[in-house]
A = this chain, B = another copy of it.
């Protein structure tokens, strides 16, 4: 068991990584913590603190070797090899996620989608085949996939989540606006769009 690492720290690793990849693209080789964080609205001290959970990187007075830090961060997050992901529920949001281009920079790829609607099964969206949900277990075993995205309606999300877990999924990114009840060893992240909007509205009214 590792020491406790705040979830916000883990989330920011992807943000730093994406920024470093963009700095590399424009030809930078070395960057200071200030250069890495200035466009992120994050304090350089926060960046250094976040990194310190994972070891010692960069040289005082010199900065960070961008190539090496990219390599380190990819390894820490677990995306130094391509991570294959499935998506379940090819409705409006699901279709948009299949076409979303933001995953590849972080070495993530939706390789297969599932639905139970015969009209959708067999179709291909942006190169991703939609399969019958009954084939999930076979696909997960063959492709060694452990992570899935849920974009089904709230009414079927719990049932679908349980089915995914029974088929071998260990981590779920849930877009349905309900709380999933799953065994404690399953990791769940909830992207709750109306609640995020609620936070904004509260702040506008109160702060």
Contact = CB atoms under 8 A, between A and B. Distances in A.
Interface string A181-207: 100000101011111111111111111
A23 interface: no
A11 interface: yes
Contact of A197 (B42, B108, B198, B206): B108
Given A100-B92, A201-B79, A196 B41 contact: no
Q: Within the oligomer, what is the number of copies of this chain?
A: 2
A177 interface: yes
Contact of A14 (B40, B173, B181, B194): B194
Contact of A189 (B79, B177, B199, B205): B199
Contacts of A196: 11, 173, 189, 191
Contacts of A204: 78, 146-147, 170-171, 187
A165 interface: no
A47 to B, nearest CB: 12
Nearest to A13: B198
A194 to B, nearest CB: 5
Interface of A: 1-2, 7, 10-15, 18-19, 39-42, 76-79, 83, 85, 92-93, 95-97, 99-100, 102-103, 105-106, 108, 146-147, 149, 154, 170-173, 177-181, 187, 189, 191-207
